[in-house]
A and B are shown apart, each in its own frame.
Chain A
Amino acid sequence: MDSNILRESKTQISVSVVFAAILLLFIIGNPATFLSMRIYYSFMVSVPFFAIMALSLTLIVICGEIDLSFPAIMGFSGFIFTTVFHLSGSVGFALFLCVLVGLGAGLLNGLLIVKLQLPSLVTTLGTQFFWMGFTMVASGGLGKTLVPTRESVLYNMMVGRIGGIIPAQILWMVLFAVILWVVLNRHRFGAHIYYTGDNPASARVLGINVNRVKMIVFTQMGAFSAFAGVISSLEVVYFWPTLGQGYLLRTIAAVFLGGTPVEGGIGTIYGTFIGALIIGKLEAGIIAMGMHGFWTQLIYGLIVVVSIAIHSVLRRR
């Protein structure tokens, strides 16, 4: 096998091994829980909320940038969805406007970073506070029910249970993973994302519009955050103004755990997909093994650091 494929595969193999090892540990620690399908159905409910954002964030990190505002965009979009739904009574219209708002918020990030040449870390930290604050002010800090959405076809399409068991959101997650994989690996735009992250100066002199690439990746992140905001609100049929908070670190961790380096230029959708599954099962697994919930973050941190160290060593070899 040649060096490039081997290097790409090494990262993907290592993240798969970490996934399998943790799963095995949980099965040994609590076979009753981890040999039953029920816990996996529960993962299928909760993992897509942040995994969809992690898949989308992978494109930004490959570009050599970062976005910290997506949890706030998720919350703000949830607010827009709820408000528009209560005003119009249409889930479809509310979803359409909410994704549009997400696109706009992502585009704003892109404009600030590309046109004003601001660093993405600081810019999106700022827009995170802005959208979070805006949501709190606009909602008055109050949540709202979404129970009437249950009557709609879209509700079932987004968070219904297929065959009465499989949560629809896991299919959305798989669908988005496939689409983003195809874009990244088989489309001209995906190739330009890689070149932008690896060597923007070279990309520019070869006629690649690096600024346009960055604008698009930030914009799509806004749309996926909005979608994640809608499905997580519909799942609990309630909008909380704090929606999104708590997703920041686990989403970013899924991307890095999946082998996409912070410097950008390389990275895989497969890696992020598995990274999200690892993060998703950790909390439940730790508790199922009889450990206190307080251990969760400690073990998150440990696994993220160890995994990134493994990826880094494998890339250098």
Chain B
Amino acid sequence: MASPGEVLVKMENVSKSFGHVNVLRNVNFEIGHNEVVGLLGDNGAGKSTLIKILTGVHTPDKGSIYWKGKKIVHYNVARARDLGIETVFQERALSEQHSLWRNVFMGREATDRWGFINVSKEKKETQRIMRDYMGFTSSALTTDATVGTMSGGEKQGVAIARALHFQADLIILDEPTTGLSLSETRKVLGFVEDIKKRGKACIFITHNIYHVYPVAERIVVLDRGTMVGQFAKSDVTLEELVDRLYLVAKTGSLSGQETNASLSDNATGEEIGQDRQSDMP
């Protein structure tokens, strides 16, 4: 766990409802500088909502967010990106009908004061990003390649490289390995290790413990809108973690483990069923 002096971002007592559906209840979450945290939970646990609050897509109903010790007010997507929080969303946030260079600079175009795009600069930078961050040296994949024609792993690579290029301090990966083949998953895990090597922090959201365990230093477990526990990887083996997660799935609690949230106010099954729909941007 990050010590107080090293905390990069801290979310305190964050709650969020959509209509009558309570998606998050008094969640406390923090991540340190250059730390990789795995955020685990089943479908409907509230992982995506937590991240969308952290990235300014949703506004929390209650609670505060601190960035490097300072409370953030008037929070939105642009502010989060300015602070240095980049997200690789589950849907990857790519424009698949457009070129690689356009996607790298999507929403952050290299323009002059009048808003005109410096195309040659963007293409040149994209070439460098492909080589330095993604390890693409093949002439088959050019900066003008349409993103829709790339493989799932390559698309994740583009989204991660984009985050690294813009000097993010915290990169959030939302289900980055979902739907990927084994070799593609390995490629994405390599990208995560690269994030750590470059001194950045990373939140790896998944419901697959086998994907996150090898790369994370700490695992945080969310269940039905509450945080039910967290483990330093050094304190728990993969097998033990699987057993504990099984217990959470079965009983909704981690008996005998440290938890910072009560399960007494868990959402009902009906509420959970609506969670994912409510999570849509």
Closest chain A CB from B95 CB (angstroms): 4
Size class of the contact patch on chain A: 20 to 34
Interface residues of B in 223-281 (CB under 8 A from A): 280-281
**A204 to B57, Cβ gap below 8 A?**
yes
**A298 and B55 alpha carbons, distance in the complex (Å):** 54
CB-CB < 8 A to B142: which residues of A? 2
**A207 to B81, Cβ gap below 8 A?**
yes
Most chain A Cβ neighbours within 10 Å, of B55, B95, B115, B142:
B95
**A195 to B106, Cβ gap below 8 A?**
yes
CB-CB < 8 A to B178: which residues of A? none
CB-CB < 8 A to A188: which residues of B? 109, 111, 115-117
**B102 to A191, Cβ gap below 8 A?**
yes
**A4 to B144, Cβ gap below 8 A?**
yes
- DSSP class of B's interface residues: helix, strand, loop or mixed? loop
Indicate with 1 or 0, residue by residue over A83-115, a CB within 8 angstroms of chain B CB atoms: 000000000000000000000000000000000
A161 at the interface (CB under 8 A from B): no
Closest chain A CB from B120 CB (angstroms): 11
**A198 to B89, Cβ gap below 8 A?**
no
Q: Given that A188-B111, A191-B109 are contacting pairs, would A203 and B145 also be in contact in the complex, using a CB cutoff of 8 Å?
A: no
A278 at the interface (CB under 8 A from B): no
Indicate with 1 or 0, residue by residue over B129-167, a CB within 8 angstroms of chain A CB atoms: 000000000000010111001000000000000000000
Interface residues of B in 69-122 (CB under 8 A from A): 76-78, 81, 87, 89, 91-99, 102, 106-109, 111, 115-117, 119
**A199 to B96, Cβ gap below 8 A?**
yes
**A201 to B91, Cβ gap below 8 A?**
yes
* Chain B, Cβ-Cβ closest to A196: B95
CB-CB < 8 A to B146: which residues of A? 3-4, 7
**A5 to B95, Cβ gap below 8 A?**
no
**A198 and B109 alpha carbons, distance in the complex (Å):** 17
Closest chain A CB from B249 CB (angstroms): 29
Indicate with 1 or 0, residue by residue over A1-21, a CB within 8 angstroms of chain B CB atoms: 011110100000000000000
**A3 and B107 alpha carbons, distance in the complex (Å):** 23
- DSSP class of A's interface residues: helix, strand, loop or mixed? helix
A79 at the interface (CB under 8 A from B): no
**B107 to A207, Cβ gap below 8 A?**
yes
A187 at the interface (CB under 8 A from B): yes
**A2 and B101 alpha carbons, distance in the complex (Å):** 13
Closest chain A CB from B202 CB (angstroms): 18
**B89 to A205, Cβ gap below 8 A?**
yes
CB-CB < 8 A to A207: which residues of B? 76-78, 81, 107-108
**A195 to B77, Cβ gap below 8 A?**
no
* Chain A, Cβ-Cβ closest to B117: A186
Q: Given that A4-B145, A186-B116 are contacting pairs, would A194 and B95 also be in contact in the complex, using a CB cutoff of 8 Å?
A: yes
CB-CB < 8 A to B109: which residues of A? 188, 191
**A5 and B87 alpha carbons, distance in the complex (Å):** 29
* Chain B, Cβ-Cβ closest to A190: B117
**A203 to B95, Cβ gap below 8 A?**
yes
**Residues of B within 8 Å of A, CB-based: how many?**
34
* Chain B, Cβ-Cβ closest to A199: B95
**A229 and B245 alpha carbons, distance in the complex (Å):** 68
A189 at the interface (CB under 8 A from B): yes
**A285 and B98 alpha carbons, distance in the complex (Å):** 37
**A206 and B55 alpha carbons, distance in the complex (Å):** 10
A202 at the interface (CB under 8 A from B): yes
Q: Given that A205-B89, A205-B281 are contacting pairs, would A194 and B98 also be in contact in the complex, using a CB cutoff of 8 Å?
A: yes
Interface residues of A in 150-205 (CB under 8 A from B): 186-189, 191, 194-195, 198-199, 201-205
**A198 to B107, Cβ gap below 8 A?**
no
CB-CB < 8 A to A3: which residues of B? 144-146, 149
Interface residues of A in 3-42 (CB under 8 A from B): 3-5, 7
CB-CB < 8 A to B144: which residues of A? 2-5
**A205 and B76 alpha carbons, distance in the complex (Å):** 10
**A253 and B171 alpha carbons, distance in the complex (Å):** 45
CB-CB < 8 A to A203: which residues of B? 95, 106-107
**A87 and B226 alpha carbons, distance in the complex (Å):** 69
Closest chain B CB from A62 CB (angstroms): 10
CB-CB < 8 A to B99: which residues of A? 4
**A202 and B103 alpha carbons, distance in the complex (Å):** 11
**A205 and B144 alpha carbons, distance in the complex (Å):** 23
* Chain B, Cβ-Cβ closest to A205: B93
**A265 to B97, Cβ gap below 8 A?**
yes
A266 at the interface (CB under 8 A from B): yes
Closest chain A CB from B277 CB (angstroms): 14
Closest chain A CB from B258 CB (angstroms): 33
12 A–B contacts from the bound complex (CB under 8 Å): A2-B142, A3-B146, A3-B149, A5-B144, A186-B116, A187-B116, A188-B111, A195-B106, A199-B96, A205-B57, A205-B93, A207-B108
Residues of B within 8 A of A (CB): 55, 57, 76-78, 81, 87, 89, 91-99, 102, 106-109, 111, 115-117, 119, 142, 144-146, 149, 280-281
Residues of A within 8 A of B (CB): 2-5, 7, 186-189, 191, 194-195, 198-199, 201-208, 265-266
Shortest beta-carbon contacts, A-B, top 5: A206-B107, A202-B93, A2-B144, A207-B77, A188-B115
Additional 20 contacts, C-beta under 8 A, given A188-B115, A265-B97? A2-B142, A3-B145, A3-B149, A4-B145, A188-B116, A191-B102, A191-B106, A194-B98, A198-B96, A199-B93, A199-B96, A201-B280, A202-B93, A205-B77, A206-B77, A206-B106, A207-B77, A207-B78, A208-B107, A265-B95
